[in-house]
Amino acid sequence: MAAAVGSGDEERDMKQLQADLREPGSPPCRSSGDRVNRRLKYVSLAVLVVQNASLILSIRYARTLPGDRFFSTTAVVMAEILKGITCLLLMLAQKRGNVKELVVYLYDAIIIQYMDTLKLAVPSLIYTLQNNLQYVAISNLPAATFQVTYQLKILTTALFSVLLLRKSLSRLQWGSLVILFIGVAIVQSEQTGGKETIGSTEQNYVVGLIAVAVSCLSSGFAGVYFERILKGSSASVWLRNVQLGIFGTALGLLAMWQQDGAAVAEHGFFYGYTPLVWCVIFNQAFGGLLVAVVVKYADNILKGFATSLSIVVSTAASVQLFGFEIDLPFAAGAGLVIGAVYLYSLPRTPDPAVSSANQSSSHKEAFLPKSVLTK
């Protein structure tokens, strides 16, 4: 997915909604259909860029403003609660307002089929950890630096996909991952905590770098783990988010109690909340679902272009909002990352040798195991 989002929920929402919204195929009328699809792609591009850039910038801005600082752990909990309530309302609408039918459905899906629900405890734990770590990272790193460095989640996701899902990558994709790593390394080679002239106090660059690195690792593993769960599952994205929200809220409250329990008890749950903080929370709660819906109309190339464009937008906005200083290493490294993201999103060209081998062995497919055919 387009990267640099302050919430790890978007990857899981996008994967599930792509499955839910995939329509069986009667080809549409090409005359009007192509025109509509072209417009939807441009709208999707705009939504992806705005959502990707706005969340990081708004979190960074909210964390650098003078005055009472809100507790990030409470913001993570509120985002989970709002998303869960929204999904429940959408499921109620699907049941045409029949509360009893919805309760029976949830009881069967969550309580009776408890083993299926428990499978989501692991990704929920990782997503909760990831969401909290991203607040730590954005609070300690310049927004543009975080945006570029967070693209390492593409590398970790690819590696976990190869190791756990036995997926294969093309030579172009492997090359783009190497370029991506080199680009991030160049960006980090001469970075210091003083790259921004606004809000540069009380920050620890090393802590922010460790937080974004662990967040990238957790994002890659959680995305691949969640993809394995989705395979063969017929549950809707709304039900999955309710199930994830149950664990996410509980784990978020536990993290809040352990990290900020005394301060929350003294100042209150909504201490430091401003209209900007509420905008951040709503962006976290609904941004993932919104992006997941519009991704239906965006191909991989468009998503890669949106990610690259969001890096440019975030960097330009950081210069204006935070006085971010762009030096040669950052420009070179960011350029390599942008190019790598775009190259990685390009469609794979079929290998002639593999294609001929597949054609020669096509008559044997009926005897292959289903797991091989659907791999």
Give residue-wise pLDDT tens across range 206-247.
898 999 999 999 888 888 887 777 665 677 778 888 888 899
What is the chain's mean pLDDT, rounded? Answer: 79
Task: Give the per-residue pLDDT at 363.
Answer: 44
What is the per-residue pLDDT across 119-146, written as a single tens digit (0 to 9) for each? 888 888 888 888 899 899 988 888 888 9
The residue ranking higher by pLDDT, 159 or 6, is: 159
pLDDT for residue 51: 82
Q: Give the residue ranges of DSSP H helices in 21-109.
A: 30-64, 72-94, 99-106
* CA angle, residues 209, 211, 217, in degrees to nearest 5: 105
Q: What confidence tens digit (pLDDT) does each residue in 137-171 have?
A: 988 888 888 989 998 988 998 999 898 888 888 89
Confidence band for 113, pLDDT divided at 50, 70 and 90: confident
Structure confidence at residue 235 (pLDDT): 72
Cα–Cα distances (Å) from 62 to 35, 52, 273, 277, in that order, read 40, 16, 10, 7
3-class DSSP state for residue 372? Answer: helix
pLDDT at 8 over 80: no
Confidence of residue 358 (pLDDT cuts 50, 70, 90): very low
Instruction: Give the pLDDT of residue 328.
Output: 87
**Closest of 299, 259, 291 to residue 72, by C-alpha:** 259
Q: What is the pLDDT of residue 241?
A: 81
* 259 to 24, 131, 168, 224, 265: CA distances (angstroms): 48, 14, 41, 28, 12
Please give the average per-residue pLDDT across 25-30, as a whole number: 48
Of 54-58, 93-97, 144-148, 344-348, minimum mean pLDDT range: 344-348
* Residue 336: pLDDT band with limits 50, 70, 90: very high
Q: How confident is the model at residue 75 (pLDDT cuts 50, 70, 90)?
A: very high
**What was the pLDDT predicted at 375?**
38
**Distance between CA atoms of residues 303 and 301, nearest Å:** 5
Please give the pLDDT value at position 4. 40
pLDDT at 28 over 70: no
Mean pLDDT across the stretch 327-351? 83
Confidence of residue 260 (pLDDT cuts 50, 70, 90): very high
Question: How far from 165 is each of 116, 225, 264, 337, 356, CA to CA, in Å?
Answer: 20, 9, 42, 25, 24
pLDDT tens column, 30-67: 556 667 667 777 777 788 788 878 888 998 888 888 88
pLDDT digits (tens, 9 = 90+) for 264-319: 999 999 999 999 999 999 988 887 677 666 666 666 667 777 788 888 888 888 88
